[in-house]
Amino acid sequence: MPLQHHLNLSSQGTSIKMLFTGYLTVVAIGYMMALVQILFTHGMADGKFGLSIDDIVYSYYGKRSGSILESKLNGSMKVMAPEAERLKIIQWVKKGADKDVYQTEIKPIINKRCVMCHSPASGMPVPDWTKDEEVFKRAEVDTGASFSSLTRVSHIHLFGIAFIFMFVGLIFSLASGVPKVLKATVIVMPYLFLIIDILSWWLTKLNPMFAWLTILGGGAMALSFAFMWVVSMYEMWIMPRRHPDYRDALLDE
């Protein structure tokens, strides 16, 4: 008969529990901050607060009836300039983004309201609007995220989120009160739906009908994270301390 491990969360010493709790707490706060960031970026793509199918379509497929600049000024960047200046830029875009008008009327607004963030000095991953060609590029028809930006963001998310869930799953794997099949399913869920989530960005870029997959992938990842987090914290700090024996090992495995 194969050797079974006898470890479980409730039997760990205080130092190990504090180590696991500290990690889970920081990761949970990071997860919430990521959700807030999504609400203030993708969640404002349609000009309304809150994530919707339209937000996902506009972010990845684009709003083909207008430009990226117009979409941002009506969405997440709406509060960054007074109404009069914002409408002046939008009208400039709608009239064809004339270069002469840009130099005399629009560029001063860009320099005053936008360049503080849209410049290399800010260190932010945003277009450099100290270069006029970058502004004109965003005044073209909005086709959503570029394939190069999707490639960059996809590999960052795949590596980073997989790394986070490896440790969350490792801690959760020591839970003794969860049936084997359910435990294995919950542990593998984040990886499966992470792939679905990333794939949905590329599919939505090609066809907006796939936008619902992004909601499915992100929602399932959040549910699996919440389940593992709550069970792990419960077994460490609320469940009565259990000294593992052979029967516990059989149930856990």
Q: What is the pLDDT of residue 96?
A: 79
Q: What is the pLDDT of residue 62?
A: 85
Q: Residue 41 corresponds to which tokens in the numbers above?
A: 């970026």
Alpha-carbon distance of 167 to 210, in angstroms, equals 31
Q: What is the pLDDT of residue 174?
A: 94
Q: What is the pLDDT of residue 28?
A: 97
- pLDDT per position as a tens digit, 149-187: 999 999 999 999 999 999 999 999 999 989 999 999 999
Q: What is the pLDDT of residue 2?
A: 39
From the CB of residue 174, how many other CB atoms can be counted at a distance below 10 Å? Answer: 21
Q: What is the pLDDT of residue 44?
A: 74
pTM of this structure: 0.71
Distance of CA 117 to the CA centre of its chain: 21
Q: Which residues of the chain have pLDDT under 50?
A: 1-5, 246-253
Label residue 97 left, alpha or beta by phi (over 0 means left) and psi (-120 to 50 means alpha): left
Q: Which of 212, 149, 160 is nearest to 190 (CA)?
A: 160
- pLDDT per position as a tens digit, 5-17: 457 898 899 999 9
Q: Residue 230 corresponds to which tokens in the numbers above?
A: 């709550």
Q: Residue 61 corresponds to which tokens in the numbers above?
A: 């497929």
Residue linked to tokens 């349609």? 46
Report residue 67: phi and psi, to 5°.
Answer: -100, 165
